[in-house]
Amino acid sequence: MNLQPTVNQRSLVAALRRASATAPDGTAAWDVLNAAGLTSAAGRDVPDVLQWGLLDWCLALEELGTAAHDAVLALAVHASLDAFQAAGERLCDAPRRLESVVRRCRAEAGVPPAGSPADSLTDRGLIIRAAYAIGIGRGCLELAQARAADRTVSGRRLIEFQGPAHRLANTAVLLADARIGVWRAATGEDAGTAAGSGAAACAATSVGAAVDAAHELVQAHGAAGTSDQRVVELYRAAYALANTCGSPQLLWARAGRQWLAAGASSPEAC
Amino acid sequence: MRFELDDSQTALVAEVDRLLDESGPDLPPLDQIALLGEHRLLAVHYPVRYGGRDLTLAHHAAVAERMGERGLPDVAHLVTVQAVGCTILCHGTERQRAAWLLQIAGGRLLASLLLSEKTAGSDLAGIETNAVADGDGWRITGAKSWSLFADWSTLALCSVRTRPREHRYDGISLFLVDLSATGVKVSPTFRASGAPYCTVTFDGVLVGEDSVVGPLHRGWPILPTAIGFERMGFDYLTRAVRWLAAAEQEVRRLPADLRSAFAPQVARLRFRVANARAMAYHAVGTADGLDMDEITVAYAKLACGTAAQAVARWAGTELLPVTRPDDGSPAAEVLRAAVAEAPEFTISGGAQELQMDLIANEFPIGGVFR
């Protein structure tokens, strides 16, 4: 087994990190992808979105989630491209097609999806949203850790107390578990193996981990966290994930139904 | 990324299966281990001259996982090959390597790691077992606790205080001790599940000066390495996989309404165990030779141990209460034993708190898994 991203995937993440760091507050995820040069193949070493597999999208969405960039348009574009590919169309030769896809998705971006996302989203749609949720959680965790390292309580840095330190560690473990689930499901999908119950499991685990991380973020700040705009923004973004991914309970119900239907042969069997 | 074993690892696992299948179902576990050793499968990551195949730690993990799946006593094997064998390989003298490694890799002896004491469990610097110089050697006195399979072992790697400490971690040395030596007593201690723990008592046991592994009085830095070699999480992982399979088997025997009610939790446990397995393989796959990153290992060990505990806990609180205790289901028996054994998985081989300390000290936290 090998969980190392490829050189291209590392470059993709690095480009997004740079673009995100200089993007003004409120910049949408798609615009960060644009700014990073990842929506056009022209003159770039890193493959653009037309050449991405699901795992590439997941790595990108996690990175965009850390700064809580609004991902509605990016997710819609991914869904459209996925639909084209599922229909057997070659997209890498059609950059103009991407422009029309983005235009259409932009026009439809305000329309809420029908039904509960836990039931209506495709498996691939759940996996990519799970990656975004992990990004939100990671943003919370890193900000919480930074605060715990700075904040002094009773003459010691907060992170030197075992209680807060272990809560942060536990959050990191939950996020790592969710991330590996996403990588596993996305890698399988890219190789032609359906994620099955693993897709809903990714989403449920990721939303849960992100909400846990959001609470740790506020806790690390103390009362100040409830009046810190950045903290409140991330906290709200974590809870909004239940609207975009579905409620964890409904997602687990879906995963359970899929497990029952698949019998002993479901793909995430150990 | 790749979430399956590679071709060479898959071939090794197939070789283990073929050998053990051909040996028949009645071969006792220790003979199965010796058979694998005879074919250089027990420590494939050791150099060829010490009975291995010069392969990677990930190859060894693939073999260890399959041994566990086949019900071989993986704790005994992992402690012998990893904790004791790898410590000798990395920190022993050439004479010590020549004396012991071929026997270990050949499955001809089992060895124990004797660190914990009644008053020093997770706090390994708090030991009281001591050794005093006697002629060219040392005499060891004290008692080591909570060791598994020491009664099967002929050799132990033992932490001992060899001089009054100048500071907390000073004055600790590691000794290789022949457990058949005069003055060694191995006695059973109650354990909630499975084979009993062993308490190993040393009553002025004489060992030679060539028994010291690593620097005299300054053995402390070697201790985390020795534990780390053992702490790959694969022994927990094989339990998690076996217990999960038993739980699924039991759920599928239930009436439809209960099956549906339990299905979400089964999906959750399957997801968690599969992720833990990927983490464990990631930890060994990124090792530099035998040197694994301690933070990555901390994640893997926690993930494997807590995933196994989650299966046992769910089985104990939800599944077993609705199964019939008198129908002789082997899967239910596996799960009852799991409930008893599971608490050990966040205690042994470095307690959960130690892993959490390691994880929390990384900055930015979580960096090893992205």
Give me chain B's average pLDDT, please.
92
- Cβ distance of B302 and A173 shorter than 8 Å: yes
Instruction: Quote the minimal CA–CA distance from B2 to chain A in Å.
Output: 5
What digits encode the pLDDT tens for the residues B12-41? Answer: 999 999 999 999 889 999 999 999 999 999
Instruction: Report the C-alpha gap between B358 and A144 in whole angstroms.
Output: 17
Q: In DSSP terms, which residues pair with B138 in a beta bridge?
A: B133, B207
- Cβ distance of B366 and A149 shorter than 8 Å: no
Task: Determine how many CB atoms are found less than 10 A away from the CB of residue B9.
Answer: 24
**Interface mutation target, options B122, B269, B271, B286, chain A, most CBs of A under 10 Å:** B271
- Cβ distance of B268 and A252 shorter than 8 Å: yes
- Cβ distance of A260 and B260 shorter than 8 Å: yes
Q: How confident is the model at residue B227 (pLDDT cuts 50, 70, 90)?
A: confident
Instruction: Report the C-alpha gap between B330 and B336 in whole angstroms.
Output: 10
pLDDT at A91: 60
In contact, B369 and A138? CB cutoff 8 Å: no
Token code pair at residue A121: 């989203």
- Cβ distance of B273 and A270 shorter than 8 Å: yes
- Cβ distance of B1 and A201 shorter than 8 Å: no
Whether the per-residue pLDDT at B231 is higher than 80: the answer is: no
pLDDT at A44: 65
**CA B265 to chain CA centroid, nearest Å:** 28
Whether the per-residue pLDDT at B232 is higher than 80: the answer is: no
CB-closest option in A1, A142, A179 to B364: A142
- Cβ distance of A1 and B274 shorter than 8 Å: no
pLDDT at A269: 42
pLDDT at A41: 64
Identify the residue with better confidence: A86 or B42.
B42
- Cβ distance of A259 and B267 shorter than 8 Å: yes
In contact, A183 and B1? CB cutoff 8 Å: yes
Q: DSSP letter string over chain A?
A: -B-PPPHHHHHHHHHHHHHHHHSPTT--HHHHHHHTT-S--TT-SS--GGG--HHHHHHHHHHHHHTT---HHHHHHHHHHHHHHHTT---TT-HHHHHHHHHHHHHHTTSPPSS-HHHHS-HHHHHHHHHHHHHHHHHHHHHHHHHHHH-EETTEEGGGSHHHHHHHHHHHHHHHHHHHHHHHHHHHHHTT---THHHHHHHHHHHHHHHHHHHHHHHHHGGGGGG-HHHHHHHHHHHHHHHHH--HHHHHHHHHHHHHHHGGG-TT--
Token code pair at residue B57: 């730690």
Find the mean pLDDT for residues B203-213: 96
What digits encode the pLDDT tens for the residues A64-94? Answer: 999 999 999 999 999 998 888 777 766 655 6
pTM: 0.92
So what's the ipTM on this one? 0.93
In contact, A62 and A136? CB cutoff 8 Å: no
Q: Residues near B40 by Cβ (< 8 Å), separated by ≥ 6? A: B51, B52, B53, B105
Low-confidence spans in chain A with pLDDT less than 70: 41-44, 89-95, 110, 113, 264-270
In contact, A210 and A140? CB cutoff 8 Å: yes
Whether the per-residue pLDDT at B343 is higher than 70: the answer is: yes
- Cβ distance of B274 and A159 shorter than 8 Å: no
If you measure CA to CA, which chain B residue comes closest to A59?
B370
pLDDT at A47: 83
Instruction: Report the C-alpha gap between B235 and B304 in whole angstroms.
Output: 9
Instruction: Report the C-alpha gap between B227 and B220 in whole angstroms.
Output: 11
Task: Calculate ∠ Cα A224-A229-A232, nearest 5°.
Answer: 80
Find the mean pLDDT for residues B182-200: 92
What digits encode the pLDDT tens for the residues B141-183? Answer: 999 999 988 999 999 999 999 998 888 789 999 999 999 999 9
What digits encode the pLDDT tens for the residues A204-230? Answer: 999 999 999 999 999 999 999 999 999
Instruction: Quote the minimal CA–CA distance from B344 to chain A in Å.
Output: 19
In contact, B177 and B158? CB cutoff 8 Å: yes
Which chain A residues contact residue B266 at CB under 8 A?
Answer: 256, 259
CB-closest option in B271, B353, B364 to A205: B271
- Cβ distance of B2 and A145 shorter than 8 Å: no
In contact, B125 and B220? CB cutoff 8 Å: yes
H helices of chain B, where?
7-22, 29-38, 57-69, 74-78, 87-91, 94-105, 222-230, 234-252, 256-285, 294-314, 330-341, 352-360
CB-closest option in A184, A200, A258 to B278: A184
Measured in degrees and rounded to the nearest 5, phi and psi for residue A246 equal 110, 160
Which chain A residues contact residue B270 at CB under 8 A?
Answer: 197, 201, 259, 266, 268-270
Find the mean pLDDT for residues B261-279: 97
Task: Determine how many CB atoms are found less than 10 A away from the CB of residue A180.
Answer: 26
- Give, as one character, the DSSP assignment of residue B196: P
If you measure CA to CA, which chain A residue comes closest to B369?
A176
- Cβ distance of B353 and A5 shorter than 8 Å: no
What digits encode the pLDDT tens for the residues B91-125? Answer: 999 999 999 999 999 999 999 999 999 988 777 78
A-B CB pairs within 8 A amount to 150
Instruction: Quote the minimal CA–CA distance from A54 to chain B in Å.
Output: 12
Whether the per-residue pLDDT at B225 is higher than 60: the answer is: yes
Lowest-confidence region among A77-81, B21-25, B130-134, B224-228: B224-228
Question: What's the half-sphere exposure (Cβ side, CA atoms, 13 Å) at A211?
Answer: 14
pLDDT at B251: 96
pLDDT at B369: 80
- Give, as one character, the DSSP assignment of residue B2: B
Which chain A residues contact residue B276 at CB under 8 A?
Answer: 177
Q: Considering only CA atoms, which of B56, B130, B120, B59 is closest in space to residue B290?
A: B56
